[in-house]
Amino acid sequence: MSKSFARRLADIEPFRVVEVLTRAKALAAAGRDIIHMEAGEPDFSSAEPIIRAAKASLDRGETSYTPAAGIPALRQAIAKYYKQDHGLDIAPERIMITPGASGALLLLAGLLINPGDGMLMTDPGYPCNRHFLRLVEGEGQLVPVGPEDRFQLSAEKAEQHWQPNTKGIMVASPANPSGEILTAPQLRDLHSLCERKEGYLIVDEIYHGLNYGVDAPSILSITDQAFVINSFSKYFGMTGWRLGWLVAPEAAVPELEKLAQNLFISMSTMAQHAALAAFEPETRLILNERRDEFARRRDYLLPELRSLGFEIPHCPDGALYLYAGIKRFKMKSPEFCRSLLEDHGIAITPGEDFGRYRADEHVRFAYTTGMPRLVEGVARLRKLYG
C-alpha cells in the first residue's frame, strides 16, 4: 500500500521530540524514574480562571460552530492585549483564530506558496515550518546560523541566501530551540529587505510573554504588512486546548478566511471561550508568576550545564530552552540523547530535530519541569561528566 502514498511524505521527517517524549513516557510507565527536559510544554496545568471559563461556556450550551475566523469577542480581546502590552492598535478584523500556531502555519503555507516556491528560515529552527511548506509543494530554504549569529537570521545573511524562487523570510522571536530574541532594528532590517525583494515576512511570536528582563518587540510595531503567528500554548499555558492566532495584513484576511472555512470550518468553541479568561487580570498575575519561575529555572540550569562542559555562549532571553553544544563529550547528538535517556533516565532533544547545521553537535534542554527535578537531572549529569 505504501507504494501509492504521496511522494512528499518522504521529505517530511518525524517530529523527533515527540518520539523522545513517547519513549520517555514508555520507560516511566515501566517503572523508570525519568527527568523530562525534552518537550516545550509548560508543566503547569492551565490556569484555574481559564478552566472555569470553559466550564461556564459548556454550562451555557456554547457547543456549536463559530465563525471560521473565530468568535468576535476573542479577536477583540487579542486586539486589546496588543494595545495594553505593546501599545499597538491592531484591528480585530486582522486577527484570525487558528487551531494552534500549527493552524496558522498551514494557512500561511496555503496562502503564500506556489509549487516550487521557497521561504528562508533559520537552521536550527522549529522543524515543522519546512514540513508545512513541503506539504504544499514548496521548500524551506535553511540558512545556517550559529552562536556567532545568536542563532538568528540577519538581513545581510538573508540577502546572501535569497534565491530566484524565494518568496520571503520566516523567523521566530523568541526562537526555538535557542531562546534568542530579535531586536527592533533587526526586525526592521528584515522587513526592509522583504520590501525591497517584494517578499513576505512571517514572524513566529509564540513565545512572547516568556521573555526575561528584556523586551521582545513585535514586528507589528514596525509594519502592518508582516504576518504574525502566536499561540495560547506557551505563555498562556493552554497546550492541549489547541488554540492560536494569526495577525495578517488586511488584504490577506478574506483569502485566509476562505482557507480556514475549508480546512477547519471553525476552532474549538469551548477553547475560544476559555481563552477569553486568559487576558483577565487574575489570570495574567498567575501567568506572570509562572514566567518568573521559568526564569529561575533558566538561571539555575544555565550555569550548571556550563560547568559540566556544555557550550552555551549566550544567556537566552526568552522561550523555554537552552541549546547546548556537546563537542566535549565526543558523541553525536542522537547517540548522546539516546544514552542519557536509556541508561540514565534523562530526556532531552537531539539537535537533528531542528535542522542540519552542526546538528550532531547540539542538544536542547527544556526547563519545563520543576526545580527539584532539574536539580536531580543535574546531579545525574554530574555523576557522569562532573
Does the structure show a pLDDT above 70 at 345?
A: yes
Residue 40 has pLDDT above 90, yes or no: no
Q: Which amino acid is at 142?
A: L
Model confidence over 182-214: pLDDT tens digits? 999 999 999 999 999 999 999 999 999 999 999
Q: Is residue 2 part of a domain?
A: no
pLDDT digits (tens, 9 = 90+) for 317-330: 999 999 999 999 99
Are 263 and 333 within one domain? no
Domains identified in the chain, total number: 2
Q: What share of the chain is helix, strand, coil (3-state, %, to 5)?
A: 50, 15, 35
**Would strands 118-123 and 95-98 be described as parallel, antiparallel, or unpaired?**
unpaired
- In this structure, what C-alpha cell is assigned to residue 201? 515576512
For residue 101, the tally of other CB atoms under 10 A from its CB is: 24
pLDDT above 80: residue 3: no
Q: Is residue 69 part of a domain?
A: yes
Calculate mean pLDDT across residues 269-298. 98
User: DSSP 3-state assignment of 78?
Assistant: helix
20-36 pLDDT per residue, tens: 889 999 999 999 999 99
- Is 129 in the same domain as 235? yes
Statement: residue 119 has pLDDT above 70: yes
CATH code of the domain covering residue 271: 3.40.640.10
Residue with cell 473565530: 70
Does the residue 1 lie in any domain?
Answer: no
Together in a domain, 273 and 192? yes
Last residue of a domain, one of 233, 256, 280: 280
Rounded Cα–Cα distance for residues 67 and 201 (Å): 27
Residues 52 and 37 in one domain: no
Q: How many CB atoms lie within 10 A of CB 90?
A: 20
Q: Are residues 77 and 172 both part of a single domain?
A: yes
Given 230, 247, 280, which residue is the final one in a domain? 280
Neighbouring residues of 277: CB distance < 8 A, sequence distance ≥ 6: 47, 49, 50, 52, 53, 283
In a domain, 102, yes or no: yes
Whether 238 is covered by a domain: the verdict is yes
Torsion angle (degrees, nearest 10) of CA 145, 149, 150, 154: -90
Classify 24 in phi/psi space as left (phi over 0), alpha (psi -120 to 50) or beta: alpha
CB atoms within 10 A of CB 121: 26
* Structural domain that includes position 42: 7-46+283-385
- pLDDT given for residue 1 in this prediction: 61
Q: Are residues 158 and 292 in the same domain?
A: no
pLDDT band at 16 (very low <50, low <70, confident <90, very high): confident
355 is a domain residue: yes
Could you identify the residue written with the cell 511524505?
Answer: 9
Question: Is the domain of 275 the same as that of 363?
Answer: no
Give the mean pLDDT of 215-232: 98
Q: Pick the last residue of a domain from 237, 258, 280.
A: 280
**Dihedral class, residue 134 (left if φ above 0, else alpha if ψ from -120 to 50, else beta):** alpha
In 173-310, DSSP assigns E strands to: 200-204, 227-231, 244-247
Does residue 303 lie in a domain region? yes
**Mean of pLDDT values over 229-257:** 97
| Residue found under cell 530566484 | 164
252/193 same-domain check: yes
Residue 35 belongs to a domain with what CATH number?
A: 3.90.1150.10
Q: What is the per-residue pLDDT for 2?
A: 62
325 with 336, same domain?
Answer: yes
- Residue 20 belongs to a domain: yes
> Could you report the per-residue pLDDT of 131-157, keeping only the tens digit for each?
999 999 999 999 999 999 999 999 999
Asked if residue 214 and residue 112 are part of one domain, the reply reads yes
Is there a single domain that holds both residue 204 and residue 217?
yes
- The CA distance from 329 to 309, in Å, is 8
Handedness of CA 257, 258, 259, 264 (dihedral sign): positive
CA dist 122 → 132, 154, 237 (Å): 15, 10, 26
Considering the domain architecture, whether residues 209 and 194 belong to the same structural domain is answered as yes
Mean pLDDT, residues 305-326 taken together: 97
Q: Are 229 and 105 in contact (CB under 8 A)?
A: yes
Arithmetic mean of pLDDT, 58-84: 97
Per the DSSP assignment, residues forming a β-bridge with 66 are: none
